[in-house]
Chain A
């Protein structure tokens, strides 16, 4: 037999669970800026506006990065695997592409950066 209090707790729990999923599994929205990290150089953050192409120098050579229509991608990179190029366009906050051989990481950030630091 379930009492009224039992039902209330059960229904509240079932009702609140979806909001927990939305909060932690939900879409973080469109990306608004891009952060480019290259080994041995300070990070640079650019807004994801306009159309531009630029090169970033890494230990292997130059990687070409393109910003267009609020998205960003690796156009080319002097690495063997080409994982970074195959990552394609980054448009949603939280996505990232990296060229580890060339020591370059590109990540896109949303309006509210949920985590501004991670500590251990």
Chain B
């Protein structure tokens, strides 16, 4: 029996973007971190690019597939790390869903990225607190973690901005 799966242009786009996000995710997982839970989260640049260029559906697929496949490749699938990543990804795509409903000019890359980073960090923190370390002392970390989310969220938003400019320039020159 010959099974073929018909794929759409949209599927290919999601696959390419996910591959890119996973590459960044894995490269970043090799970086040392001063505190558990703090990392730049540059893979989210791809999520925001997907959101702005192709819509929320694509962004959500890319974010969730990145967590799933990234964890299989790194070897953290179903581990606490995976659960934290998944909680963060779910929260950030939920935040992006709500943010993308804003009428008018809405959010740009920096706003989306910052909101996603804050939602991601908050969800990870409360998952860590409820599931793994239900110790009130953990709250002493919260201000530091949210500061990191602010800095990295704005930074990746600016990177997203640059990436979008290049993408649009490339599209124009390809015409």
- Closest chain-B Cβ to A64's Cβ sits at a distance in Å of 31
- A9-B111 contact, Cβ under 8 Å, with A1-B161, A24-B140, A24-B142: yes
Most buried by A among B102, B108, B118, B140: B108
A16-54, CB under 8 A of B: which get 1 and which 0? 010011011100000000000000000000000000000
Question: Is the pair B135, A118 in contact by a Cβ cutoff of 8 Å?
Answer: yes
Chain B residues within 8 Å of chain A by Cβ, number: 25
Question: Is the pair B143, A2 in contact by a Cβ cutoff of 8 Å?
Answer: no
- Tell me if B136 is interfacial: C-beta within 8 Å of chain A: yes
Question: Is the pair B140, A3 in contact by a Cβ cutoff of 8 Å?
Answer: no
Question: Is the pair A20, B136 in contact by a Cβ cutoff of 8 Å?
Answer: no
Question: Is the pair B105, A25 in contact by a Cβ cutoff of 8 Å?
Answer: no
B-chain residues with CB within 8 Å of residue A114 when the two chains form the complex: 136
A108-120, CB under 8 A of B: which get 1 and which 0? 0000001100111
By beta carbon, the residue of chain B nearest A117 is: B136
- Tell me if B110 is interfacial: C-beta within 8 Å of chain A: yes
- Tell me if B33 is interfacial: C-beta within 8 Å of chain A: no
- A5-B136 contact, Cβ under 8 Å, with A17-B143, A20-B146: no
Assembled-state Cα–Cα distance A10/B104 (Å): 18
Interface size, A (range): 20 to 34
A-chain residues with CB within 8 Å of residue B118 when the two chains form the complex: 13
B-chain residues with CB within 8 Å of residue A3 when the two chains form the complex: 105-108, 111
- Tell me if B21 is interfacial: C-beta within 8 Å of chain A: no
- Tell me if B147 is interfacial: C-beta within 8 Å of chain A: yes
Chain B residues 157-172 with CB under 8 Å of chain A are: 157, 161
- A17-B108 contact, Cβ under 8 Å, with A9-B114, A9-B115, A24-B142: no
- Closest chain-B Cβ to A12's Cβ sits at a distance in Å of 10
Assembled-state Cα–Cα distance A20/B146 (Å): 9
Assembled-state Cα–Cα distance A20/B118 (Å): 13
- Tell me if B54 is interfacial: C-beta within 8 Å of chain A: no
- Tell me if B154 is interfacial: C-beta within 8 Å of chain A: yes
- A13-B150 contact, Cβ under 8 Å, with A1-B108, A2-B108, A120-B135: yes
- Closest chain-A Cβ to B166's Cβ sits at a distance in Å of 15
- Tell me if B55 is interfacial: C-beta within 8 Å of chain A: no
Question: Is the pair A20, B143 in contact by a Cβ cutoff of 8 Å?
Answer: yes
Write 11 A-B pairs (CB below 8 A) sorted by A numbering.
A2-B108, A2-B110, A3-B106, A4-B105, A5-B102, A9-B114, A10-B110, A13-B114, A20-B142, A21-B143, A24-B139
